Amino acid sequence: MKKPPIKSQYPPAISRYKGVVRIVGGNKSITLDHDISFNELDKYMIQNLSFNNKQTKVKSDTEWQIIGSKGDEYTIKCTNGSWSCTCMGYGFRRRCKHISKKKQEIKNCK
């Protein structure tokens, strides 16, 4: 039975190092026992273009569920102009890339 290709958030690439061939896409990789060409790449790994588009609103216009760069799910909130995110970056620094991206997508927060 043929296995379906692995879906990756990033475009896959071929890595050849010290005789080992790997297909790498973001945090996913496959080690092969044979060499392949770029034309054969989609048999093993493809980019999942809908991965970054899994952003859906939750509860209200000021709360969103988003998927982070490594596939983790976070909640972004904006209440009275004050932003928060459930990611570790926001927990440490009180700012994160998820909030920055969401601010670019919307005009204002009430």
Kindly report, residue by residue over 16-74, the tens digit of the pLDDT.
999 899 988 877 888 888 888 878 888 888 877 654 444 444 455 688 888 887 888 89
Whether residue 35 contacts residue 21, with contact meaning beta carbons closer than 8 Å, is answered with: yes
Structure tokens at 1: 């039975």
Provide the token pair at 106.
């919307």
pLDDT band at 86 (very low <50, low <70, confident <90, very high): very high
- The answer to whether 39 and 83 have CB atoms below 8 angstroms apart is no
Beta pairing class for 20-25 and 13-17: antiparallel
Q: How confident is the model at residue 11 (pLDDT cuts 50, 70, 90)?
A: confident
Of 39, 41, 31, the closest CA to residue 11 belongs to 41
